[in-house]
Amino acid sequence: MTKVEDLLELLNLKSVDVNVFQGYNKTVGSPNVFGGQVLAQAINAASQTITNSRVLHSMHAYFLEAGNLELPIIYNVALVRDGGSFSVRRVTADQNGKTIFILSASFHKKEDGYNHQIDINTKVKQPEELMSWTDMLEQFGDAIPKKTKGFIEIERPIEFKPVEVVNPFNKEDLPPFTNVWFKLKGDTSNLNLASKQQILTYVSDYNILAAAMNRHASKAHWGNTQTASLDHSMWYFRDFDFDDWLLYSIESPNTSNARGFAKGNIFTRDGKLVASVAQEGLMRPLNS
């Protein structure tokens, strides 16, 4: 995948029966199906059963099994409730008859009400001052650890520019946060809100556990730690556009019991808070 059109093709599922949808997989450089893909495809499946113009405002999901890249994923949607203001859907994702993932999503009719948000960190460097993953690969490719290099070599429809760049050769613990700018490649001018939310969900599974890993960088890295998304929650606040860079600001309040917890906020460049994310992931030390 190299542009947003490729990503939309991946996320837009085919209907195979009443409230049953099928999706296929694209690797992001890991041996299993990318969690963000399953999250976004499940949201797409749920959205296809919403016929009253309600807008996704939250979702909560659990990853039960690693997804097999070679097998299609079947998404079954249960219409839990269509109330006066909210519609709730439950989605299960199956491969070979085994449930690998479950998700609940809530959709809300448009209403006016009170409005406030936290402020964006205005002190972070702007994307024009930073190197992208592609720039880092071109400039430091030979010095990047093999596993990390293999991951960032995969072509993606998203460009990432981290504000804080971790040097893997400096064995020192770092503050438990990270900020990453991201931007879609390709034409984003005709995206509707549902598609934008699904793409944002896909992106939200990138980078989030890095904040938890930073706190233990003197001894932990992606090569000696088994990591996997365990659960993922997201709240969608405001409409937005993908025509400029967005900032994913992430912090990790806790790691314990071989699990890391992180939460993040996604802002437009002009400071509009569009979504918040929370995830707990496996962080299991391996024998070096």
Active site residues: 205, 229, 279
Amino acid letter at 111? E
Task: Find out whether 185 and 177 touch, Cβ atoms under 8 Å.
Answer: no
Nearest CA to 65 among 57, 53, 73?
73
Amino acid letter at 227? T
With vertex at residue 209, the alpha carbon angle to CA 199 and CA 117, rounded to the nearest 5 degrees, is 60
Task: Name the region of 200 (left: φ>0; alpha: ψ -120 to 50; beta: rest).
Answer: alpha
Residues near 74 by beta carbon (within 8 Å), at least 6 away in sequence: 16, 20, 21, 22, 93, 94, 95
Element (H, E) at 219: none
